[in-house]
Amino acid sequence: MKKTLLSLTLIAAFTLAACGKDDAPAKNTTASQTFVQPVENKTNDGTVGMLLPNFAELVAREGSTVVNIQAASEKDNTSMSNNDDLADNDPFSEFFKRLIPNQPDFPQSENEANFGSGVIISEDGYVMTNAHVIKGMNNIKVTLNDKREYPAKLVGSDEKSDIALLKIDAQNLPAAKIGNPDELKSGEWVAAIGAPFGFDNSVTAGIVSAKNRTLPDETYTPFIQTDVAINPGNSGGPLFNLKGQVVGINSQIYSRSGGFMGISFAIPIDVAMNVADQLKATGKVHRGQLGVIIQEVSYDLAKTFGLDKPTGALIAKVISGSPAEKAGLRVGDIIRSVNDNEVRSSSDLPMTIGALAPGKEVKLGVWRKGNMTEITVTLGEQGSQTALNLNNKAAKPYSGSIDGFEFAAAGLTISVENGVDNSVLLVRKAQGISANAGLRRGDIIVEIAGQAVHNKAEFESAISQAGKNIPVLINRGGNMIFLALILP
């Protein structure tokens, strides 16, 4: 079955899930107090089998900081109002009224309404939720734990981090205490409060499974992975540590079925608060940019570049006119640290750079041709590069074969083709070692061990100097990729 990453917004059409009853809000206490006390699970012989946390006090004290979010688009559909009698005659109508008795008072329309959760982050009415909860909606309502309802103004949203900031006209609200996600450890207990499927103030608990997870198309968020049961409607709700501090904002699940399967992801609260502060100040988020295309350093690539371990971000392309080009970064450089903080994987780099302000100087530790060097870059701002500079599409660079040759040791057959500015080396057949390295028919070989190659003589010269572990830069459909060719 297909595995997918799903956002957690509960979407309803026609029949809309609303909130049920709940207790009055409890008064907050200091952030340093640990609310969750372990409960001993004793065996028959009196020994303690394991320790389980009791979240009752945490929920009583912090549940009032969690809100329900209802968002709809004000586009009335007259055809719906003309069919009220038909809805009343629907045999399933009464069933759904009993199942979901308190339907929200949004006008009926063909447009779907989103339901999610949120958390109060200030006493004067600022509420944080997910950007996908309110995306495309212009009628947003916030329901507090004590059933007070407020229309909400959208201060701003940021789709890259999936964070939105709302403002309601209220004072002296119970604000959540903000924790430090860096202190979280894998295996630590955490709890989520939200409104899955419209069941408000539902509490689920579990452990931190991992930190700094990178998801497809989610470049700028180091997600917290947990096994806390999260479902549609939990979107934007808080993830608490044992001290009752918010450490994350629940955002997505990993699922084959569309329902919870034991893997959920939360946005670290420090990332979310940084976004919220910028949205509050300017209505948008500013992120630093280097202007490079990077790839992961595999074990084999680490060997070809002479690294002691496969860490860092390998630069496959430097964008023309970017801060990286101005600072002197090159294709084949491996960025191993930013301001003396290690870049363990390529996904660390965009998250680290994106968290910094445009115009800020950063010190990069760069591995270049077998040595470490330090390069200072003044960051640009994301979105400032022109579409022309960022265009990766490439027209066919060849118009006819000049000659061909084989590199038998790697099982590689190459033809030399006429290019726009120079001849290029086109892979005609890759088998054996070259196929294992990932080379394919149609790849254009751009560099061998850092040397540009355009003909047979340049190829053979580069190979003779490269040794047995050879980094090969190819152009595949306009995308620059490094591959590791390991000769016997």
Largest CA distance in the chain: 85
62 near 111, Cβ under 8 Å?
no
> What single-letter DSSP state applies at residue 409?
G
Q: Write out the DSSP string of 459-478.
A: HHHHHHHH-SEEEEEEEETT
Strand, coil or helix: 377: strand
Catalytic residue among 235, 322, 337, 423: 235
* Residues sharing a CB contact under 8 Å with residue 110, sequence separation 6 or more, in sequence order: 13, 75, 77, 80
Catalytic residue among 162, 300, 333, 443: 162
C-alpha 427/C-alpha 148 separation (Å) is 67
CB atoms within 10 A of CB 85: 7
> What single-letter DSSP state applies at residue 259?
S
- The values of phi and psi at residue 470, to 5°, are -120, 120
Q: Is 162 a catalytic residue?
A: yes
* Residues sharing a CB contact under 8 Å with residue 89, sequence separation 6 or more, in sequence order: none
Instruction: Point out which residues pair with 439 in neighbouring strands.
Output: none
C-alpha 221/C-alpha 181 separation (Å) is 13
140 near 166, Cβ under 8 Å?
yes
Burial class of residue 234 (count of CB atoms within 10 Å of its CB; 0-12, 13-18, 19+)? buried
C-alpha 127/C-alpha 154 separation (Å) is 10
Q: Is 464 a catalytic residue?
A: no
Catalytic residue among 132, 202, 346, 443: 132
Q: Is 157 a catalytic residue?
A: no
CA 27 to chain centre: 34
31 near 15, Cβ under 8 Å?
no
As a residue count, the chain comes to 488
C-alpha 345/C-alpha 336 separation (Å) is 9
Residue 367 token pair:
């591995």
- Which residues are known to be catalytic? 132, 162, 235
